[in-house]
Structure 1
């Protein structure tokens, strides 16, 4: 083990360290490991790097800033090339110093989502789900195995994209979902204690609220009030101070005095916005669906999750999310399209569970 760890540490260099940006938990990519076309990566380097001019737009090269002395960049490998540029794939491979192969099929767990994802990337369920709805990209046979042997799961293939897998599953075992024998997801069944990670809290005079709920004050009230953001961690506070200019930082607290517009973007901790959005249309029939037609009202949102969806997937995506939240059936789930395998789905389903708990009068976990 010591030799293996020493080899892995030595593989991290001062230049062109690549990580998966989406899948595999951001895992480091070793120098002899091939990249895949159509996949997003993050690159860390001790020196500032700029791709050749003809690769900048092809790679969707995006500088992310400097963190702890390291320059961070995000990039996405293309899936197709113009026939007039046959040398471009080799130039990309030479620049990134990795071989690049065709994309392998991927498998995504769409429903139900796990209670949480463990630090090793394992999906954890508090009790065996009746079945798992999977989305498959590319062809490949689905298999479910344990550390001992293949188990007798019921695998129902709806079409080339959608698959449903049923148990039996039992506590104490880890199950591996694979496509074309390529491991994709590991999940296990175990008791999950109720937990709430330390995040951030907003305070204003005698009011206190979490950024992942509706703000209790409108835009005018926020401007007229001194706002304190308690981060509970020096590291989180410093990170948010770098992302949000103008806030005053003292130890683990960010503050803005009265008289100033209040806006803070805190990634997965939520967002505080000073603008007052309007509501999405309550009825699909009230929309004018003709191409180029102007809507009678400005499309807006009244939940933090709607803002995140509009930012990444536009008004149509927000409308699909609203439809799913109002009626979370399988058909409306499918209509979410690419949102189903995005980073936003856990938050969307968290809102859906909150709504269900309020309706049933249960506790909001």
Structure 2
């Protein structure tokens, strides 16, 4: 909200999760309000200059009913679909209802109808609209539309963000960047005129088309402003620029003799030396120490510290806090295609990034680690495409942070 310095008011939201109050000054940035399924979904009250906003919000939450509430599955962050919105052939959806719903026999297989279970009294279903029909059943599309209570249209062209990918995608589906991107490279499926709209005022955007599929959008993006990129006036991509705090696990402190290190880094001792020494892991909290003690047999728990005496092999798995290994797993050794780092680089690059590689290898295997290493060495378009599913995972902010830190260290060495 941008109503000027003299505007005053507040919005109050009462839901199944309690009571929330937002002053006008709280709404200078987007706010996500968590809700639980119930009817009515929430009660909205507005005061002062926020009375019109409260009325609009009340109308929106009032659209959620006890029967056949539809949500997107593949796009728009799972957004709720209003009654007057059209569905689209070839798209997947989720349905939430207090009443148990069984589609007519002839529609169940056509919709790939899948009950997901019952949650807090609500039945959840997932289904997919077909993209083609056999000619012997001309009335089938009309029957599907009547069953779902929505009109259904033909597939329309879509936009996909290719580069740069955002820091994260929020629950509402908006792409969030920590700094204004110089430009956005988009892939377009189908034809249509691309335009950019701003939530505040107007925006001067330079849109260049490269062939049938590729679009590049440049502009002077402002903080605290939301931008919508549309095809033929229909929104497809929403993004904004705002500070993004990035948490990197600090790991746990490990002590062996006179040496100490962080559990997110490689151990400075080999497996044989570790086995011949007593190792203590300082967890910083009794709760974390007790949790890791349950995950790792043999370690002696004493308040906030785990200990393992000399004469035994040392291995500790601590999840996001790191891992203690005497040897590097063979699955994340440098592949034949990777360029082996020089001995002087091992301590500054591999040790810092090892915690990332251990997370990647568990989910994406040795090939995923090799692709991440290529990206860290050269974050060009080709290596970005090679990341594949890793690029869309929760790990990408940490990988980018490692790339940034690696570049900062290199630039610092050059300055020295």
Deviation at 1:145, TM superposition (A): 2.8
Aligned to 2:335: 282
- Matches of 2:188 and 2:293, distance apart in 1: 46
Residue 129, structure 1, aligned to residue 177, structure 2: no
Residue 109, structure 1, aligned to residue 143, structure 2: no
Match of 1:329 among 380, 383, 388: 380
Q: Is the 8 A contact 1:214 1:304 kept in 2?
A: no
Q: Is the 8 A contact 2:75 2:173 kept in 1?
A: no
Residue 36, structure 1, aligned to residue 88, structure 2: yes
Aligned to 1:65: 117
TM-score by length of 1: 0.61
Residue 194, structure 1, aligned to residue 242, structure 2: no
**SS of alignment partner, residue 11 of structure 1:** coil
Q: Is the 8 A contact 2:69 2:80 kept in 1?
A: yes
Aligned to 2:395: 347
Deviations 1:101-126 (A, max 9, x none): 11222222222233345566543333
- Matches of 2:192 and 2:368, distance apart in 1: 29
Q: Is the 8 A contact 1:104 1:138 kept in 2?
A: yes
- Matches of 2:235 and 2:214, distance apart in 1: 18
- Matches of 1:37 and 1:74, distance apart in 2: 15
Q: 1:323 to 1:195 in 2, by over 3 A?
A: closer
Instruction: Please list, as runs of the form range in 1=range in 2, the aligned pairs for 1:1-365 lying within 5 A after superposition.
Output: 1=52, 3-117=55-169, 121-147=173-199, 150-190=202-242, 192=243, 194=245, 196=247, 278-279=331-332, 282-283=335-336, 303-305=358-360, 308=363, 324=375, 327-334=378-385, 339=389, 343-344=392-393, 347-348=395-396, 350-358=398-406, 360-361=408-409
- Matches of 1:255 and 1:92, distance apart in 2: 54
- Matches of 1:321 and 1:47, distance apart in 2: 47
Q: Is the 8 A contact 1:142 1:179 kept in 2?
A: yes
Equivalent pairs, count: 298
Q: Which runs of 5+ in 2 are unaligned?
A: 1-51, 256-261, 268-282, 298-316, 324-328, 339-356, 411-416
The structure whose Rg is larger is: 2
Deviations 1:259-292 (A, max 9, x none): 7xxx9x9xxx99x9xxx9945982469xxxxxxx
Deviation at 1:157, TM superposition (A): 1.7
Q: 1:84 to 1:128 in 2, by over 3 A?
A: same
- Matches of 2:292 and 2:142, distance apart in 1: 48
Q: 1:320 to 1:40 in 2, by over 3 A?
A: farther
- Matches of 1:14 and 1:214, distance apart in 2: 52
- Matches of 1:31 and 1:120, distance apart in 2: 19
**SS of alignment partner, residue 72 of structure 1:** strand
Q: Is the 8 A contact 2:332 2:369 kept in 1?
A: no
Deviation at 1:348, TM superposition (A): 3.7
TM-score by length of 2: 0.55
**SS of alignment partner, residue 351 of structure 1:** helix
Q: Which runs of 5+ in 1 are unaligned?
A: 217-227, 233-252, 286-301
Deviations 1:122-145 (A, max 9, x none): 433333221111122221122123
**SS of alignment partner, residue 229 of structure 2:** strand
Q: 1:89 to 1:115 in 2, by over 3 A?
A: same
Over the aligned positions, Cα root-mean-square deviation in angstroms equals 4.9
